[in-house]
Structure 1
Amino acid sequence: MTVAVYIIVMAGVTYLIRMLPFTFFRKKIKSRFFRSFLYYIPYAVLSAMTIPAIFYTTHNIYTAVAGTAVAIILAFLEMPLIVVALAATGSAFLIGLFL
Structure 2
Amino acid sequence: MDNISFDHLWLVVIAMGIVTYLPRMLPMVLLQKVKLPPFINRFLGFVPFAVLGALIFPGILFSTGNIPSAIFGGIISIIIALLDVNLILVVLGGILSVFVWQVLIQ
What residue ranges of structure 1 are gaps of 5+ in the alignment?
Answer: none
Q: Is the 8 A contact 1:29 1:35 kept in 2?
A: no
Change (3 A) 1:25 1:85: same
Say which one has the larger Rg: 2
Aligned match for 1:68, one of 53, 58, 74: 74
1:80 equivalent in alignment to 2:86: yes
- Alignment RMSD (CA, Å): 2.3
Aligned match for 1:29, one of 15, 32, 35: 35
Correspondence list, 1:1-99, <5 A: 4=9, 5=12, 8-9=15-16, 11-27=17-33, 29-98=35-104, 99=106
Output the CA distance in 2 between the equivalents of 1:60 and 1:6: 42
Change (3 A) 1:14 1:96: farther
Give the TM-score, by structure 1 length: 0.79
Give the TM-score, by structure 2 length: 0.75
Output the CA distance in 2 between the equivalents of 1:8 and 1:51: 35
Change (3 A) 1:7 1:60: farther
Q: CA deviation at 1:29?
A: 2.8
What residue ranges of structure 2 are gaps of 5+ in the alignment?
Answer: none
Which one has a larger percent helix, Structure 1 or Structure 2?
1
Overall identity of the aligned pairs, in %: 38
